[in-house]
Amino acid sequence: MSTTTTESSFIRTLRYDLPASLVVFLIAVPLSLGIAMAAGAPLAAGLVAAAVGGIVAGWLGGSAVVVSGPTASLTVVIAGLVHTYGWRATCVITILAGAVQVLLGVFKAARAALAVSPAVVHGMLAGVGIIIALAQLHVVLGGSPQHSALANLTQLPGQIIDMHGHKVMVGVLTVTVMLVWGRLPKHVRAVPAPLAALLVAAGTAWVFGWNVTRIDLTGAITEWAPPELPQGDWHDVAGGMLLIALLAGAESLLCCVAIDGQHSGRRADLDRELSGQGVANVVSGLLGGLPVAGVIVRSTTNVRAGARSHRSAILHGVWVLLFALCLGGTIQLIPMEALAALLVFIGIRTISLGHVRKVHGHNEISVYVVTMAGVILVGLAEGVLAGLALAALLALRRLTRITVDKREEPNGRLHATVSGSLTFLGVPRLTQELRAIPAGTAVDLDLNIDFMDNAAFDALHSWRLDHERLGGTVTIDELHDEWYTLAAGGARMFPAKSPPKPSGRWWLPWTHRRPDSATAAECRLTRGAEEFHRRTAPLVRPILTELAAKQQPTHLFITCADSRIMPSLITSSGPGDLFTVRNIGNLVPRAGATPGDDSVAAAIEYATRVLNVHTITVCGHSGCGAMAALLSGPATTADLPQLRRWLRHGDASLTRLGGERPDDALELLCRQNVQQQLENLRTYPRVEEQVAAGRLKLVGLYFDIGAAQVHVVPPARPGAAREAGAAREAGATREAGAAGEDVPAREAVPAPPEPTQR
């Protein structure tokens, strides 16, 4: 067994993970070099981080397909730390940040990172991208980046005037390749665009002998030096450590969540992923690498390339390591301007119009803009904190936002709808709107709310009492949870004394209304029709408009006229699904029976010949009055001649039961009646023809009312109906409902089946 499993894993690796790892490797090398350059770190640090992120985080992480490595979102933080403490001290801060991530993963804190507003995350990434683009644009133009984004922006015109021709041409060539690469044939696009852009730029510069700046591999991967403790204020060191830990952790977890929606493998273990990223950061810092995190670009590429397991990420790290050790000298052929142009392109691409549309659709564009502006103008930490603060303020503002819509109804009543979250912050607005209602008005008040605190309840209840004391009426209907009803009864405020009780008839909203003196004699169904026009009709009108031209049901549903049976409720069906026939006892008279019944026969004929339904369902139920009348004999229906004649169609079901009358005879008869009616359906030639051809299916259901369960009733033993019918015809014909004298022995009844999942 183990040999088979090993061979299977090995084959999957060769078939899926190995090719995917090569694709990701080709993308990781240029991006890692560019991020290291933008952060002011040794270029080899980017390769170290890519190798460690792939091998360590891929091995220990909680996601099957996430690829980790240096990330552009941390370049601003790293650049500041390198400028303040030096590179080797920054490695110590990376180690400490990794230790913090490991602790957060051990204490199951990963889910907390997902509470960050996406608008803040996307705004931060956009701000970092603009900073990188502005800084590297100076390198493309032949100059040096300045200390801030504002300085880079203000000195850009002078840099353009003094730009160096060959260096600019390399940068333009790199960006051009990146732009057009996606439009080339598929077999050409097998080479990743970043790698192709650098190869074209380097080759062109070498062929034409352009005067460009070559990459310096000072601090190569083989020239390792131990990290050193930072010198300076430890408060700032701790701040940088926490910032790297939180930002890298949050990006990794958000990457996991996003990638989970793109593949069909196992879902990510977020706490394990956070701990794995922490261990990778510790190792990367020890080896002189950049901080690592799960990177969405490489992870998405990994999935699209067909990766199936973490082996792809691990192999990609191995390829990066081998490249750095064996082919690192080839990196020196890449012009710095080409690498800078690649970073400019990537930085601009972080401003995603798709993300902007999403946050705008949720009214969070202000959070996005404030975060982005704060990151650009002030700093990364300050911008993120400003975005989080604004997001919290907007969330608090939403708690105060309630709407009160009022309109006059044709019957003279005032209909008011309160929507939102009713908290103490919204009490002033609520009170103002309600007190504007004239005294003595009959008010229908709908509460379309998701929460109500004590202050809001007190305000609403006090207004209601005052309004009714002045001669008005207030009928309150809650569209969701019963906040007001339970609070008025004490259940919301004192759950230990009076636990909430669910409404017994939640599907009839008008039954909760207290009838006032003016409408006490009004028909409940009339009120229900008004309720339908006011609340339900606007919701179902689009569906009914489509169904208005033609009905196309797929089921004929034959059930009892009992008021407790609700076909749409017990079958989860909607308008246009069921062609329904209801009669006493859910009976199907046999074809050609005497006395005949054209009503049911016409429905069967229309359903099978015109509507071409796929199934015919007979649904019986517990405690059926028609079956009870059959059991009780002729005396029960002595004064009901029409009912007595109709119940003669149930004689065959009674014959099935036999002469015995056990304690559960009524339930057995109700179930066997369903089986008998399914047999009766097959006496209709059109039904039998379609069933035999496989175009029609007959289904029996049994609704246990008290248990609220629907059971599937299996068909009777073949020939049982014919035997029962022959026995009935051989016996004396019952006159006025009298039972036959001779009946066959009672056949075995199958045990009740398990309820279907509804």
Please pick, among 562, 619, 648, 728, the residue that the annotation labels catalytic. 562
Q: For residues 627 and 673, is the Cβ–Cβ distance under 8 A? A: yes
Q: For residues 225 and 253, is the Cβ–Cβ distance under 8 A? A: no
Quote the CA–CA distance of 653 and 673 in Å, as a whole number.
5
Is there a catalytic annotation at residue 728?
no
Question: Quick one: which of 277, 347, 381 has its CA closest to 67?
Answer: 277
Please pick, among 91, 255, 624, 670, the residue that the annotation labels catalytic. 624
The neighbour count for residue 39, using CB atoms within 10 Å, is 26
Pairing type for strands 697-704 and 709-713 reads antiparallel
Is there a catalytic annotation at residue 564?
yes
C-alpha distances (whole Å) from 559 to each of 35, 583, 644, 685 are 70, 7, 19, 22
Is there a catalytic annotation at residue 122?
no
Pairing type for strands 709-713 and 293-294 reads unpaired
Checking 748-755 for CB contacts under 8 A at 24+ apart, the result is 749/668, 749/671, 749/672, 750/714, 752/671, 752/702, 752/711, 753/711, 753/712, 753/713, 753/714, 754/711, 755/704, 755/707, 755/709, 755/710, 755/711
Q: Two tokens at 584?
A: 């006493």
The neighbour count for residue 613, using CB atoms within 10 Å, is 23
DSSP class of residue 335? B
Strand, coil or helix: what is 686? helix
Quote the CA–CA distance of 137 and 141 in Å, as a whole number.
6
Quote the CA–CA distance of 106 and 88 in Å, as a whole number.
28
The neighbour count for residue 209, using CB atoms within 10 Å, is 8
Quote the CA–CA distance of 268 and 615 in Å, as a whole number.
43
Quote the CA–CA distance of 715 and 710 in Å, as a whole number.
16
Tell how far CA 124 is from the center of its chain: 25
Q: For residues 307 and 22, is the Cβ–Cβ distance under 8 A? A: no
Quote the CA–CA distance of 230 and 232 in Å, as a whole number.
6
Question: Quick one: which of 603, 747, 602 has its CA closest to 668?
Answer: 747
Question: Quick one: which of 81, 194, 75, 217 has its CA closest to 134?
Answer: 75
Residues forming a β-bridge with 406: 416
Which stretches within 378-477 are classed as H helix? 380-400, 427-435, 454-469
Task: Tell me the angle at which helices 296-304 and 18-39 cross, rounded to the nearest 10 degrees.
Answer: 160
Q: For residues 336 and 212, is the Cβ–Cβ distance under 8 A? A: yes
Is there a catalytic annotation at residue 255?
no
Is there a catalytic annotation at residue 91?
no
Quote the CA–CA distance of 578 and 586 in Å, as a whole number.
15
Strand, coil or helix: what is 295? coil
Q: Two tokens at 544?
A: 């009914």
Name the one residue in this structure whose structure tokens are 């031209």. Answer: 549
Please pick, among 564, 661, 722, 758, the residue that the annotation labels catalytic. 564
Whether the bond into 595 is cis, omega within 30 of 0 = yes
Question: Quick one: which of 435, 489, 445, 444 has its CA closest to 467?
Answer: 435
- Helix then strand then coil, in percent of the chain rounded to 5, is 60, 10, 30
Which stretches within 74-164 are classed as H helix? 75-85, 87-106, 118-140, 149-154, 156-161
Question: Quick one: which of 297, 347, 324, 337 has its CA closest to 29?
Answer: 324
Please pick, among 621, 644, 671, 734, the residue that the annotation labels catalytic. 621
Quote the CA–CA distance of 605 and 626 in Å, as a whole number.
25
What amino acid positions are annotated as catalytic residues? Answer: 560, 562, 564, 621, 624
